[in-house]
Structure 1
Amino acid sequence: MKKNLLKKEAADFIIARVKNLSVTHQPQWGIMTASEMLFHCNSCNRQILEEGRENKKTQVKQYLLRILALYIAPSFKKNIQGEPEHHTKGKTNDLDFAKYKEEFVGLINQFPLTTRSLTLSHPAFGNISTEEWGIAAYKHMDHHLRQFGL
């Protein structure tokens, strides 16, 4: 079974890993600082948990990418560019690192408590189920924690 942030055990595992992150951690790939990474993850997770969008038609390419990324590939590839709205380079302050980390933990804790459907359309995968959002969110958090060696 795929790890899923909607499951408390998976959320707790992500939280335990992020607790080891410090502002001085350097990325093993990419250009984000630890503060920028947390800010980015928080932005994405807030959007997943809070927003719903009118379902757009899912393209065949998106469906195939979803199957590959969520069910076949063990993890997301390094250096994949995300949506411009979630780019955080130069938009954070390391003095706010503790605040970003606290928000990260709070948002991750919300996933297992979610009782409503997550209806946001994924930019790369199209319309995905709530269960698939849990898998995608876990893989995204895992990707960024691995980026910082955690």
Structure 2
Amino acid sequence: MKTIFDRNTRGQLIDRIEQIDEYKKAEWGKMNVLQMLKHNTYWNGWILGKESHVYKQTFMGKIFGKLALKRMIRDEKPFDKNIPTSDQFKVKGQNGHLEPEKSKWISLIKEYENYHNPNFIHDFFGKMTEEQIGILVYKHTDHHLRQFGI
């Protein structure tokens, strides 16, 4: 199973991120390429504990989260297209520049080499093992790169 904690996997993802340019169009979903980059920099910062996030599982997550997580990371199958995202990760607006967002995302991907965020609680899946986090981060990153044909 691929995981963000594997050096070669991180390198492959970084190579794919470097292929992003302003001409990439989404094959599904509502985000443009800049919104996708911002979504991923915010999301990875959340996982890594980069800002003062409040980690709390939703009520629905407490009921269905563990089952959903198990289904999402049980095999190599990529995430389905158009899976819903929490409101906190929806990027609004078009402001920003592509290259700095790419650089920021790549920098965050590199930080998984020394991952340590014992306070992390996924808003839907709840408390996760490091192995689960590694698989989820890989699949989330792969999902958005495939969304833009990368």
Letter in 1 for 2:101: Y
Q: Structure 1 residues 125, 98: closer, same or farther in 2, change over 3 A?
A: same
Return the offset for 1:117.
4.3
Letter in 1 for 2:142: D
Where in structure 2 are the equivalents of 1:45-64 lying within 5 Å?
A: 45-50=44-49, 53=55, 59-64=62-67
The answer (yes or no) to whether the contact 1:118–1:130 under 8 Å persists in 2 is: no
Letter in 2 for 1:128: M
Q: TM (normalized to structure 2)?
A: 0.87
Distance 2:68 2:36 in 1: 24
Distance 1:91 1:5 in 2: 28
Distance 1:3 1:52 in 2: 28
Distance 2:58 2:88 in 1: 19
The answer (yes or no) to whether the contact 2:34–2:94 under 8 Å persists in 1 is: no
The answer (yes or no) to whether the contact 2:7–2:113 under 8 Å persists in 1 is: yes
Where in structure 2 are the equivalents of 1:118-129 lying within 5 Å?
A: 118-129=118-129
Structure 1's unaligned 5+ residue stretches are none
Return the offset for 1:53.
3.5
The answer (yes or no) to whether the contact 2:3–2:137 under 8 Å persists in 1 is: yes
The answer (yes or no) to whether the contact 2:58–2:123 under 8 Å persists in 1 is: no
Return the offset for 1:83.
1.2
Q: TM (normalized to structure 1)?
A: 0.87
Aligned CA-pair RMSD = 2.1
1:83 corresponds to which residue? 86
**2:105 aligned with 1:104:** yes
> Over residues 56-99 of structure 1, what are the superposed CA-to-partner deviations in whole Å (9 max), with x where a residue is unaligned?
89735211111100114611111112111111132533xx1000
Q: Structure 1 residues 87, 132: closer, same or farther in 2, change over 3 A?
A: same
Letter in 2 for 1:16: D
Distance 1:60 1:49 in 2: 25
Count of residue pairs brought into register by the alignment: 146
The answer (yes or no) to whether the contact 2:58–2:124 under 8 Å persists in 1 is: no
Distance 2:56 2:86 in 1: 18
Q: Structure 1 residues 33, 127: closer, same or farther in 2, change over 3 A?
A: same
Q: Please give the secondary structure, in 1, of the residue aligned with 2:68.
A: helix
The answer (yes or no) to whether the contact 1:119–1:129 under 8 Å persists in 2 is: no
Structure 2's unaligned 5+ residue stretches are none
2:3 corresponds to which residue? 4
